């Protein structure tokens, strides 16, 4: 919360918490590092490096999320399931930024609300896995846990967790942040020049007409306003962009957790808006312990097995003061279960009068495997989960304040369906994800358009 008195003086400092207090709790999904001294050395090195984000930015985002809770903004959170070191390239970063900017333009224009833009990048390198070991034929090796931990190749050497990879992940995050900040500060997101972030493909897309019409309309509106006030409106030249990742690898997150001058408490300065994944969100687990003590806005993934009582206890633990903008709940039930599972949670939170930002992750409850062995998601299921979520919130008297999506600015074929109606056979053409299937640029833009249509109903 951004009230100055609250920034300087805690209402309640979390009791007996410190950045390493998670170590006294069961920590799921942690790699076993073979060399404890090497791990300690890396943590020491990370603690000495400059932070990636500042407490001012974190508190500004918290304020925006508080406004989203009140229906005055809408959150767009998106990016890859997992970043990789190899894909820290100019094209991939700028294309992902372009598609997020285009989606946000569609949302701002259609919903008539400012959008909070949060990328799933600059740190999204650690992955939870369903099994500790992966078996192929006779051979069992530790699972790949994201580039921050080990390498994906199926060799014994590649799968050994290497703490030095944390320093590499940190450096890649810094490079990504630096490039995104430079693009935005240099005018990449300038509303006077939406062509800067136009993607070549839009011209060939079945969605091109709608998108171009909207961009032209915005251009007219901008020129009209500027004629009216007699000068260029500088606020239209840049946007705020924030980062998020799943704060899964606790030794890494701990080393990024710091105190800053003239602020009470502790901040995770590796990202603005970390979230706890579904597999590690247990009330008595190490991740909940870590998250309760940092001052960042945080989010928790909420899957179909969570009961109203568990959710309320988690809210008490993570946001005991009911601070505005502090807590996002990212429900990810799947199109088939959302109508059954979500209402009781909404009712319980509403009944207790707790302040949360409800966010729909329409990806993770809709993952399936094809007969030819690909992990995929059907666009129709993603659409359905988003549309149902809007309806379920409306019926409960709560508000869907944002979406959380896995997407890329590349022309991949990982999810089926969408405007081009990709089929299972198409998946072979450009399936690149090493983890979950992402919306391609066109499916991502289509998702923004369907959100607008649904919101208008």
Which residues contribute to the site for ligand PEP (CB under 6 A)? 81, 128, 246, 277-279, 301, 332, 361, 364, 436
Closest to ligand PEP by CB, 81 vs 327, is: 81
Residue 120 annotated in ligand binding: yes
Q: Does 248 bind Mn ion (CB under 5 A)?
A: no
Q: Give the angle subtended at the CA of 96 by the CAs of 123 and 422, to the nearest 5°.
A: 120
* Minimum gap (Å) between residue 267 Cβ and ligand PEP: 22
Closest to Mn ion by CB, 387 vs 414, is: 414
Q: Give the contact letters, 65-94, x = binds to Mn ion (CB under 5 A), - = no.
A: ----------------x-------------
Residue 192 annotated in ligand binding: no
Closest to ligand PEP by CB, 105 vs 315, is: 315
Residue 301 annotated in ligand binding: yes
265 binds, among ligand PEP, Mn ion, none (CB under 5 to 8 A by kind): none
> Could you tell me which of 157, 155, 129 has the C-alpha nearest to residue 143?
129
* Minimum gap (Å) between residue 423 Cβ and Mn ion: 22
Q: In terms of DSSP bridges, do strands 298-302 and 275-276 run parallel, antiparallel, or are they unpaired?
A: parallel
> Could you tell me which of 217, 218, 163 has the C-alpha nearest to residue 190?
218
Is 259 in contact with 265 (CB distance < 8 Å)? Answer: yes
Answer left, alpha or beta for residue 70, where phi above 0 means left and psi between -120 and 50 means alpha. Answer: alpha
Closest to ligand PEP by CB, 163 vs 277, is: 277
Closest to Mn ion by CB, 73 vs 404, is: 404
Which two tokens mark 113?
A: 């609300």
* Minimum gap (Å) between residue 331 Cβ and ligand PEP: 9
* Minimum gap (Å) between residue 332 Cβ and ligand PEP: 5
* Minimum gap (Å) between residue 334 Cβ and ligand PEP: 11
Q: How many CA atoms lie within 13 A of 6 on its CB side?
A: 12
* Minimum gap (Å) between residue 247 Cβ and ligand PEP: 12
Q: How far apart are CA 254 and CA 238, in angstroms?
A: 32
Is 148 in contact with 162 (CB distance < 8 Å)? Answer: no
List the alpha helices (DSSP H) in 256-307: 286-292
277 binds, among Mn ion, ligand PEP, none (CB under 5 to 8 A by kind): ligand PEP
Closest to ligand PEP by CB, 279 vs 455, is: 279
Residue 35 annotated in ligand binding: no
Closest to ligand PEP by CB, 239 vs 306, is: 306
Q: What is the CA radius of gyration of the chain?
A: 21
* Minimum gap (Å) between residue 419 Cβ and ligand PEP: 25
> Could you tell me which of 450, 105, 423, 43 has the C-alpha nearest to residue 270?
43
Question: For 146-265, where are the E strands, in sequence order?
Answer: 242-243, 257-258
Residue nearest to ligand PEP (CB): 277
122 binds, among Mn ion, ligand PEP, none (CB under 5 to 8 A by kind): none
Q: For residue 275, give Cα distances in angstroms to 167, 258, 264, 265, 270.
A: 21, 18, 22, 19, 12
Q: How far apart are CA 272 and CA 291, in angstroms?
A: 13
Residues 411-440 that bind Mn ion (CB under 5 A): 436
| Total interface residues for Mn ion by CB under 5 A | 2
> Could you tell me which of 270, 253, 269 has the C-alpha nearest to residue 261?
269
Residue 415 annotated in ligand binding: no
* Minimum gap (Å) between residue 161 Cβ and ligand PEP: 18
332 binds, among Mn ion, ligand PEP, none (CB under 5 to 8 A by kind): ligand PEP
289 binds, among ligand PEP, Mn ion, none (CB under 5 to 8 A by kind): none
Q: For residue 219, give Cα distances in angstroms to 101, 231, 251.
A: 15, 15, 47
Closest to ligand PEP by CB, 214 vs 248, is: 248
301 binds, among ligand PEP, Mn ion, none (CB under 5 to 8 A by kind): ligand PEP
Burial class (CB in 10 A: 0-12, 13-18, 19+), 50: exposed
Burial class (CB in 10 A: 0-12, 13-18, 19+), 97: buried
67 binds, among ligand PEP, Mn ion, none (CB under 5 to 8 A by kind): none
278 binds, among Mn ion, ligand PEP, none (CB under 5 to 8 A by kind): ligand PEP
Answer left, alpha or beta for residue 265, where phi above 0 means left and psi between -120 and 50 means alpha. Answer: left
* Minimum gap (Å) between residue 373 Cβ and ligand PEP: 20
Residue 455 annotated in ligand binding: no
Residue 332 annotated in ligand binding: yes
Burial class (CB in 10 A: 0-12, 13-18, 19+), 185: exposed
> What residue numbers does the annotated binding site for Mn(2+) cover?
81, 364, 406, 436
Q: Which residues are annotated as a binding site?
A: 81, 120, 301, 332, 364, 406, 436
Q: Interface residues with Mn ion (CB under 5 A)?
A: 81, 436
Residue numbers belonging to the annotated binding site for phosphoenolpyruvate: 120, 301, 332
């Amino acid at each position: 919360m951004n009230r100055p008195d609250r920034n300087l003086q805690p209402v309640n400092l979390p009791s007996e918490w410190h950045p390493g207090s998670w170590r006294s709790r069961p920590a799921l999904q942690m790699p076993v590092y073979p060399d404890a001294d090497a791990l300690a050395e890396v943590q020491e090195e990370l603690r000495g490096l400059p932070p990636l984000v500042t407490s001012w930015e974190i508190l500004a985002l918290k304020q925006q999320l508080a406004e989203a809770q009140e229906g005055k903004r809408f959150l767009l959170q998106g990016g890859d399931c997992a970043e990789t070191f190899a894909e820290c390239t100019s094209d991939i970063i700028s294309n992902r930024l372009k598609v997020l900017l285009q989606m946000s333009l569609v949302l701002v224009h259609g919903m008539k609300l400012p959008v909070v833009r949060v990328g799933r990048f600059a740190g999204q390198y650690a992955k939870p896995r369903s099994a500790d070991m992966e078996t192929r034929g006779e051979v069992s090796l530790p699972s790949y846990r994201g580039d921050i931990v080990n390498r994906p190749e199926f060799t014994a050497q590649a799968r050994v967790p290497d703490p030095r990879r944390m320093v590499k992940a940190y450096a890649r995050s810094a490079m990504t942040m630096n490039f995104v900040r430079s693009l935005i500060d240099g005018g990449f997101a300038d509303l006077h020049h939406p062509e800067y972030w136009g993607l070549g493909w839009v011209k060939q897309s079945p969605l091109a007409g709608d998108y171009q019409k909207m961009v032209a309309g915005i251009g007219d509106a901008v020129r009209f306003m500027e004629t009216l006030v007699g000068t260029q409106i500088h606020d239209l030249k840049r946007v705020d962009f924030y980062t998020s990742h799943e704060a899964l690898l606790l030794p890494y997150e701990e080393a990024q957790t710091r105190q800053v001058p003239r602020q009470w408490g502790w901040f995770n300065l590796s990202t603005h808006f970390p979230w706890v994944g579904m597999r590690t969100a247990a009330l008595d687990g190490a991740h909940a312990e870590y998250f309760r003590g940092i001052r960042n806005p945080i989010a928790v993934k909420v899957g179909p097995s969570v009961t109203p009582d568990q959710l309320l206890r988690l809210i008490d633990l993570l946001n005991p003061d009911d601070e505005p903008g502090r807590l996002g709940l990212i429900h990810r039930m799947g199109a088939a279960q959302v109508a059954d599972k979500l209402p009781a949670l909404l009712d319980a939170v509403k009944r207790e009068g707790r302040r949360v930002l409800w966010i729909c992750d329409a990806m993770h409850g809709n993952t399936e495997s094809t007969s030819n062995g690909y992990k995929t998601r059907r666009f129709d299921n993603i659409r359905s989960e988003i549309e149902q979520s809007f309806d379920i919130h409306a019926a409960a008297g709560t508000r869907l304040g944002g979406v959380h999506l896995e997407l890329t600015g590349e022309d991949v074929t990982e999810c089926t369906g969408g405007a081009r109606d990709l089929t299972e056979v198409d998946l072979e053409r450009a399936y690149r994800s090493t983890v979950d299937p992402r919306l391609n640029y066109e499916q991502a833009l289509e998702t923004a358009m369907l959100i607008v249509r649904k919101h208008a109903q």
